[in-house]
Amino acid sequence: MHRVKLNPILAAVLVGCSLAVVTARHQARELFMELQSEQKKSWYLDIEWGRLQLEQSTWAMHSRIEQIARGQLRMSVPDLKQIQVLKAPDNQS
């Protein structure tokens, strides 16, 4: 008599566990796809970061800065006679 009552309970537990396994696998697949998507975004951001660093180094090149200083700001290197070198005083006691 106990086996007859136990079988439906075990069947219900088995169905519940099966549903839990299916749900867990589905969530794992979704999380794995999300992980792959985020890794792809990270890869593209790394490429963009490299491009931005290259662009920054190009914009900061000495020759470009000198060209802008001469062209737009009309700056020039002073004559040697106009250059004065100052030394900081020694503060030794």
Give the tens place of pLDDT for each residue, 15-34: 999 999 999 999 999 999 99
Q: Tell me how far apart the alpha carbons of residues 56 and 63 are, in angstroms, rounded to a whole number.
A: 14
What is the C-alpha to C-alpha distance for residues 92 and 78, in angstroms, rounded to an integer?
A: 34
0.75 surpassed by pTM: no
Residue 54: the pLDDT is: 94
**CB neighbourhood size of 5 (10 A):** 8
The rounded distance, in Å, linking the Cα atoms of 10 and 16 is: 10
pLDDT in tens, 34-72: 999 999 999 999 999 999 999 999 888 888 888 889 999
Q: Can you tell me the distance from the alpha carbon of 66 to that of 73, in angstroms, rounded to the nearest whole number?
A: 10
82, 76 contact by CB (below 8 A): no
pLDDT at 7: 87
Residue 48 near residue 54, CB atoms below 8 Å: no
